[in-house]
A and B are shown apart, each in its own frame.
Chain A
Amino acid sequence: MLDKLKKIWQVLNRPSVHYSLGFLTLGGFVAGVIFWGGFNTALEATNQEAFCISCHEMENNVYQELQTTIHFTNRSGVRATCPDCHVPHNWTDKIARKMQASKEVWGKVFGTINTREKFEGKRRELAEHEWERLKANDSLECRNCHNFTYMDFTRQSPRASQMHSTSLANGEKTCIDCHKGIAHHLPDMKGVEGF
């Protein structure tokens, strides 16, 4: 046993040109861990709400509006932050969303929404992107917190349970079809289905 280990060590210890193979593998592994970890941590850092509202475009408009809704303060004290609703938790989805986010940096640099008027002017377009995304993923972000399986209809208001036990239960509709504007003010809704 010890012999075997010695032999393996000898192989690993044989100099490559400058470094041993062992050093290279181990070093590579460690570097990988550091790189991957750092990448992940950097992504986690950009997930913080503080990051989102570091841009006045986000802080002065949508963040102010969020504060008056049930997703900011409620009796149970459970809060939804921007990334809870806007960045998919799934790792691969996350990268995809981040790539899209570079568009926002572009927007920041060129000031596409840097005043309230410009923001209101563009809100319908931005909102439509979000509706599209939530429609396509069957309101994944909502469902991360609100699990249909655990909804107790008997505890909901009759209006809510009526809708949830029919159109929602049979998959005809998803959360965002009926619950637009739960977190921010809505744009002009002319022509939007359901309004």
Chain B
Amino acid sequence: MKTFKLMSLIGLLALGSFVMTNAVATSIPEDKIDTLRLAPIDIEPTPPVMQNVRNTDIKEVRNYPMQPPVIPHKIDGYQLDLKVNKCMACHARSRTGESQAPMVSVTHYMDRDNNFLAELSPRRYFCTQCHVPQLDAKLLVENDFVDMDHLIKANTEQKKH
């Protein structure tokens, strides 16, 4: 009985691994796997040089009005957890006098029913969900985003003709 159990276990494992390797082999073609790795899956490429975080302190233009602005400073070591929200030590309403940082906008104090809260809304607590610093890196994939100002301009130009 024991040997039978063992045998069937080995059998199952073998079948399992066969099915799995087969599934991988057929569903994703080889040349699609390594697009961002720039190397076959079984080769460890030398990682590119680490990029520096842009720490210019100059606000970046937003691509559309609802965009969470990108962070123009480094945030290394800023603790952001249940105990501490380092970002709010500068961006809270009461802190902006000393820090001279822009206050988080009023939307950060609103709950989902648009009630204004006295404190930061829980859904806006983890800032880095929406706001991120930028690297001075080359784009990995091309970005074909077009600013709406360009679209409107193009549209009016077309109408003129």
Contacts and interface: CB of A to CB of B under 8 A. Distances in A.
Given A194-B89, A195-B89, A186 B84 contact: yes
B73 A159 contact: yes
B57 A188 contact: no
Nearest to A71: B77
Contacts of A159: 57, 73
B57 A195 contact: no
A99 interface: no
Contact of A181 (B76, B79, B100): B79
B73 A185 contact: no
Contacts of B83: 185-189
A70 B77 contact: yes
Interface of A: 68-70, 157-159, 162, 167, 181-182, 185-189, 194-195
B84 A195 contact: yes
B106 to A, nearest CB: 21
Given A70-B77, A195-B89, 8 more contacts: A158-B57, A162-B100, A181-B77, A181-B84, A189-B83, A189-B84, A194-B89, A195-B88
Contacts of A194: 89, 95, 98
Contacts of B55: 157
A187 to B, nearest CB: 6
A69 B89 contact: no
Contacts of A189: 83-84
Contacts of B57: 157-159
B89 A188 contact: no
Interface in B42-76: 55, 57, 73-74, 76
Question: Which of B55, B76, B79, B84 has the most CB atoms of chain A within a 10 A radius of its CB?
Answer: B84
Contacts of B95: 194
12 contacts: A68-B77, A70-B77, A157-B57, A157-B73, A159-B73, A182-B77, A185-B79, A187-B83, A189-B83, A189-B84, A194-B95, A195-B88
Contacts of A185: 79, 83
B76 to A, nearest CB: 7
B100 A69 contact: no
A158 to B, nearest CB: 4
A158 B76 CA distance: 16
Given A157-B55, A159-B57, A70 B76 contact: yes
Which 3 A/B pairs are nearest by Cβ-Cβ distance?
Answer: A158-B57, A188-B83, A186-B84
A185 B86 CA distance: 11
